[in-house]
Structure 1
């Protein structure tokens, strides 16, 4: 008898399944490399892997990666200059940061460059906050972010051939009007600013809060107004619940490979929701869109990264987790409140302008 070797054909899987496996494996592989290489902030590679991989597309080639790394270094280095300026001339520095956040949001919403735009937002918020404490801390953070980007893209190179996109022309993105893009960019910027101001009071404690607020600003541009409060708060709560459950499972065996496999499992479930495989007809998760599941995944990675660091530093993990999730929920509630308040103000302003506009009889 002759046996024929079975060949794995990635295109035999449905597209949504390929995307789910790809995202989950890339994130878990980036986590394994981040912690295995002993990086200073090992949760950054998996976090950046989520940001750079969530939107389905082929990974950048070596030349594009080099351009991306150079752009990241330049954009993040701006933050080092803003740190001392925040201390000597806070008002001009805050105006520059406000404009930088607006531009980064505009790049994500109108330009469709969510990954580079998020890294640019880090350069205008996270790096200046760290630089206001120590230039060495800011430089180390820039190095960690650059290494995180490289690790995330290398993981994409390794995994994408196994689970590629369909060989068809990419869909043309729906254009966003200039007025709508400017309004959403302003709204996202106003969501980030309060968290950033709080971070300046204690950068070492509140840096994850600024990162969460930036991701919430991105999420706010993708959700409907009436679902904003529910989606942003529930995604934060679900991310916290997943972090607690994964941490409890990790206590069974504190090993890197065990951590990686648990992350793979959790990310696979969340990615299935993001790409439409997992759907809920009733309850708070009904109608949840891709941004909801991606936000849940980023919250999971942020909270787990903080828990691992707290454990390594001998802190009370659960107490620190309670404080961190409370801050995340506070900024999520504020984001939903700000969206509703700004939209009501915009509607009233438009109604007044329409009432004052003369009509031709």
Structure 2
């Protein structure tokens, strides 16, 4: 294995195996929001070529504490002073995105954005629901980190491999513009979710993914990267759903996820070269996981899976088109290109 498997092959196996394990374990343990762990695992394994260090682990623990605490503290403010609460949430989203753009850990920034929006939106409807979301985020992150460590042990990076380059630090003014744009991408889905947190939680997760992707996408390629990856994610989810129906079992869920992860991973890490960026393929994978996970939960709950999928896909496309418009507006007004 050490001599035959090249670094890109190891990375593909880590992404596919780690995502599939997180998905299977989440549904096996019946976690309240089972798509959280595989989504974070996909982000973690696709962007990090080395396992988390002790320092990074401590940083994640602090982020969990900061996110959950901040999200819960915002709940009373949003209930009694809604406008002020929304403005403070917007500011915190802007600061979280700006932190990632100024050389901070992008995964930490993503978790901050997801936690702030999901917890505070859930708390406006029911404080107990917010506590449930806190538990789901903490369990999902811990599971993603543990599975990431396991997959790095199974498919370690060769000692001769080059270290991962440091995150590019964007100039202060440009980082501020991009962070503002990303925060504006997330806010409509957040406001929509405040009306029905349980129903629109997947929309928040999708908007967080779009906000993250908008930080690296130009207005010129916005339609191709954002809308294209959303449509591809939907098509992959449909194909996955009908494949899973052939034999419904948890092990088949794992194996199909492993197969789809390998197919997307080949393009994500450049073994099958395409004209699309790695962010395009990562967003497609994340979109597929969110849509598929929700469809499985709808099926268990006895809901009309196809109607729910159509509505959810329509909302995903709506927030994606809005994200593209934000990129175009910022470019026309002299924003980031």
TM-score by length of 1: 0.89
Q: Output the CA distance in 1 between the equivalents of 2:168 and 2:112.
A: 23
Deviation at 1:342, TM superposition (A): 1.5
Residue equivalent to 2:229: 235
Cα deviation, 1:49-108, whole Å, max 9, x if unaligned, reads 112222033122466435413421321221112122112111211111011100111122
Q: From 202, 205, 217, give the equivalent of 2:196.
A: 202
From the superposition, tell whether residues 115 and 173 of structure 1 become closer, same or farther in structure 2 (CA, over 3 Å). closer
Cα deviation, 1:187-238, whole Å, max 9, x if unaligned, reads 1011111111111122121111111111101101112221111210010000
Contact 2:44–2:148 under 8 Å retained in 1: no
Deviation at 1:338, TM superposition (A): 1.1
CA RMSD, 1 decimal:
1.7
Pairing 1:1-361 to 2, within 5 Å after superposition: 8-9=1-2, 12-61=4-53, 64-167=56-159, 168-280=162-274, 287-346=275-334
Of 59-68 and 237-246, deviating more is 59-68
Of 313-322 and 60-69, deviating more is 60-69
Of 97-106 and 117-126, deviating more is 117-126
Contact 2:41–2:145 under 8 Å retained in 1: yes
Structure ID, larger Rg? 1
Count of aligned positions: 334
Deviation at 1:175, TM superposition (A): 2.8
SS across alignment from 1:12? coil
SS across alignment from 2:248? coil
TM-score by length of 2: 0.95
Contact 1:102–1:185 under 8 Å retained in 2: yes
Q: Output the CA distance in 2 between the equivalents of 1:48 and 1:155.
A: 11
Of 256-265 and 119-128, deviating more is 119-128
From the superposition, tell whether residues 141 and 172 of structure 1 become closer, same or farther in structure 2 (CA, over 3 Å). closer
